[in-house]
Amino acid sequence: MPQTTPDLFTNNDTRFRPLADRMRPHNLETFFGQRHLLGPDKPLQQAIATGKLHSMILWGPPGTGKTTLARMIAQRCNAQFLSLSAVLSGVKEIRAAIEEAKQARLMKQQGSVLFVDEVHRFNKSQQDAFLPYVEDGTVTFIGATTENPSFELNNALLSRARVYVLKPLTADDLRAVIDHALSDEENGLGQRHLKMDESLRDRLAIVADGDARRALNLLQIAADLALDENGQEVISEGILNEVLSGGTLRRFDKQGEAFYDQISALHKSVRGSSPDASLYWLVRMLDGGCDPLYIARRVVRMASEDIGNADPRALTLALEAWDVLERLGTPEGELTLAQAVIYMACAPKSNAVYTALGQVKADMEKYGSLEVPIHLRNAPTKLMKELGYGKAYRYAHDEPEAYAAGESYFPEEMGERQYYRPVPRGLEIKIAEKLAHLRELDRQTLATTKK
C-alpha cells in the first residue's frame, strides 16, 4: 500500500531513527545545496514558495535531497503525500494510491502528491498506469531517479513532467550538513556536545562524495564510537580512521549513467592526448568498483579507433595489458592498464581506420552484394577455369616492386574507391608516402594503356 504521511515533520521518538532521517530539512532554510534550483527567483524555489504544484522528475545522485524536496513541496501545498517505491510496488499499489487520491479530493477537497522513488525501475506498463491520473489532475506526480530520464522513462511521462537536475553536494554543502547535525539539539547530536576538530569535519565532507545521507550515516557511526575525554565526548582522528577503514567507493554505478559518463571521459582524455586526465578517470573507475577487464576491453578499442596505424604498438600494448591483468588480477594487474592508457594518451593519433570502416559500410548499404570480379575469383576446379575464374589475374609478387600497377580489386559497378586516408602523424606519414607512390605508378600505367 502507498505510505500516507498526514504530518510529515512530526517529531516522534527519535531514539531509533537514523540520524540522516532525523535531519531531513523542514524548510528551505535548512536545505543545503541545489542553489541552482532553490536560489532566489529559481523555478523550483518559486514553485515551492507559491505553493503551485506541477508534475516533475527529480534527477540526481543519491543523497542530494530528492525525497526531502518532494515532501517539502507536498507540505507547502497542503497536499496529501503518497509515497511508492518502484522497487517494491507494482500496478496494484499504483491503483491503490490513485484510489486514495480520489478519496482525498472527494472527501477533503485536498490534492495529492504521488511520489515514486526510483521511478526508472517501473516498466512501460507500470508508468502508463498512472498517466491518465496525472493528466486529469487526480495526482501531481513527482518521480525521483538516479538514472537519465531520457533513457529510462516513457516519452509520454516526460511530456507531462518537468525535469529538474539535482547536483552532488559540494564539500562546503556537506560541511554545513555535518555542522548542523552536530549542533542541532532537537533532531541531531547537539545535546551530546560532541567535539570534532575542523579538519576532521572537512575530511568527512570530502569522503562523503556529494552524498548527504552518506555523510550523516558516517557521522552517526563515529558519534557512537566517541570516547570520553575529561567529561566530553570526542570524535578523534583515530575514530574517524576506523569508521572510514572499510573503504569509501566514489560515485559509480556499473548499470547507470555515471558509468558511461566516466568511461566516456576516459576515452576522450586518451583521444585528447592528456595522460594525466586519462589516468585520473582510470583510477576513478577502478576506485568505484568497475571491472578492470571491462576497462581493458575498452582500452583495446581506443588503440584501434583513435591511434590506429599512427602507432600500431598501442594495440599490442593494450592487448598485453589485458593479458597481464588476467594473469595477475587486481590490484597488481591494474598497473598495466595505467601503463597502456598513459602510452596511448601520448601516442600520435589517427582515426583513419575508424573513418574508412564507416565509409565502407556506407558503400555496402548503397551498392548491396556486388559480384566479385571474375579475375579475383579462385579457380580450384576445371569448370571454374573454363568459366574464366582467375583469368588475367596478375600475381603481385611477380610484378615490379611487388605491385600490379593499374590493377583493380573493386567490383566493376563501384569503380575505384579511397577509404583509407592516412593522417600526417606517426607511422601514417610513411604509409601515406608509400600509397602516394603506388598511386603514381597506377597513373603512369593507366596513361600508357590509354595510348
* Res. 13 pLDDT band, cuts 50 70 90: low
* Res. 7 pLDDT band, cuts 50 70 90: very low
Please tell me the distance from the alpha carbon of residue 249 to that of residue 61, in angstroms, as a whole number. Answer: 14
pLDDT value at 204 more than 70: yes
Average the pLDDT over 392-403 and give the result. Answer: 91
Of the three residues 139, 165, 191, the one that is the final residue of a domain is 165
Question: Do 22 and 151 share a structural domain?
Answer: yes
Of the three residues 244, 265, 293, the one that is the final residue of a domain is 244
What CATH number does the domain containing 341 carry? 1.20.272.10
Average the pLDDT over 282-301 and give the result. Answer: 91
Asked whether residue 431 is domain-assigned, the answer is yes
User: What DSSP line would sit under 263-296, residue for residue?
Assistant: HHHHHHHHHTT-HHHHHHHHHHHHHTT--HHHHH
Question: Do 150 and 43 share a structural domain?
Answer: yes
Contact predicate 137/30, CB 8 Å? no
Asked whether residue 429 is domain-assigned, the answer is yes
Please give the C-alpha separations between residue 430 and each of 211, 317, 356, 406, 424, in angstroms, as whole numbers.
Answer: 53, 21, 18, 22, 9
The grid coordinates of residue 152 equal: 529510462
pLDDT value at 313 more than 80: yes
Question: Do 266 and 140 share a structural domain?
Answer: no
Work out the number of other CB atoms within 10 angstroms of the CB of residue 293.
15
Question: Do 150 and 25 share a structural domain?
Answer: yes
Record the pTM. Answer: 0.64
The grid coordinates of residue 269 equal: 582524455
Query: Which single residue is written with the C-alpha cell 495526482?
Result: 139
Average the pLDDT over 161-188 and give the result. Answer: 92
Please tell me the distance from the alpha carbon of residue 146 to that of residue 33, in angstroms, as a whole number. Answer: 17
Question: Do 392 and 314 share a structural domain?
Answer: no
User: What DSSP line would sit under 164-205, residue for residue?
Assistant: EEPPPPPHHHHHHHHHHHHH-SSSSSGGGT-EE-HHHHHHHH
Question: Do 430 and 404 share a structural domain?
Answer: yes
pLDDT the model gives residue 396: 92
Considering the chain, what is the average pLDDT of its residues? Answer: 87
pLDDT value at 159 more than 90: no
Domain that holds residue 213: 171-244
Q: If you average pLDDT over each of 113-122, 336-345, 389-398, which comes out highest?
A: 336-345
pLDDT value at 263 more than 60: yes
Question: Do 123 and 108 share a structural domain?
Answer: yes
What CATH number does the domain containing 388 carry? 1.10.3710
Q: How many domains does the chain have?
A: 4
Question: Do 107 and 53 share a structural domain?
Answer: yes
Decide which of 16 and 434 is more confident.
434
